[in-house]
Amino acid sequence: MIFISNEYQQTIKAVEKAIPAVVAILMFKSPEQVKQKIDKTIFEQLPRDKNGLVRLGSCSGFFVSADGYVLTNRHVVEDEEAFYEVVWKHRHYPCQILARDEMTDLAFLKIDGKDFPYLSLGDSSKLKLGQTVIAIGNALSEFENTVSRGIISGLSRHVQTDLENMNREFSGLIQTDAAINPGNSGGPLINLFGEAIGVNTAVVLGVENIGFTIPINQARVILKDIKQYGKIYHPNLGVRYLLIDNDLQKEHQLPFNYGAFLIYETLPGQKGVLSGGAAEKIGLKEGDIILEIDGKKINKDYNLTDVLKEHQVGEKIKITFWHQGLSAQAGETKQGEIKLE
């Protein structure tokens, strides 16, 4: 007689409940968009759809409502020149991208239809260290509905990671040892009740058994905004940045070992200071350092994401920043007021 523990039975039931709601998200581009950027031999081997579009990748997502709302990562659908499809039960659905949120790396898609199976959203604020969790997704973009089991290894983690060839800062993340591989991005992290408690988003490359997940409570707020206002309605400074530590200070010969360093444009369209954003309007430039907001130092314990969570659109904040001159020695510290947009 084989004895199966209660936790294993719960795991199996949770997976059976969740898998029908998990989808694949495919990315396509026209041959003309692709062939100039990659080797000819590789280009000829890439799969095509029935219309001749080139398939460039596959990641994960999941239904959060019966009427076709799909939650995934922003970096999964980041390329605005690409075409995306949602695949569910081997059927391909064209999708509308409702929102891409750079601050949380979340995105919401919508497909036509009804009565889709969907995941209930749990409460990520109640997670405990050591709690059993399950990650579901398309591992390595090849293996559909791959399931891995682990525990909550850490809460409220701050992570700098390289997604889509670009440095990103995330805070408040859930750390887990459940295997999260390329292709799993956008898939759910669930609890033993089959509820989504996170969105799998990043792995630390070269290190085993460390994965990170965006708390589902962040997605809940965004979904409410989309349904109520038709857009994400939280403030945005319009910057991309790296938090300064001793290593970054030394590498760039910066005058401070704290603050948010506004990165230089690394790829076309990926500026450190976004055109027309609140930061640009008060004169912030790439290479500048945001030192304080309302008198509080910006560091790993209090970053710009934490600041924005405390404020609403239309509110004003006081900012202290270092403006880079021709050299670090020629820079100067300035102050200003930003109206959040």
**Identified catalytic residue from 60, 124, 141, 185:** 185
Catalytic site includes residue 92: no
Backbone angles phi, psi at 58, to 5 degrees: -145, 130
**Identified catalytic residue from 60, 101, 105, 141:** 105
**Identified catalytic residue from 58, 60, 75, 148:** 75
Catalytic site includes residue 105: yes
Q: Report d(CA 247, CA 266) in Å as an integer.
A: 20
Q: Provide the annotated active-site residues.
A: 75, 105, 185
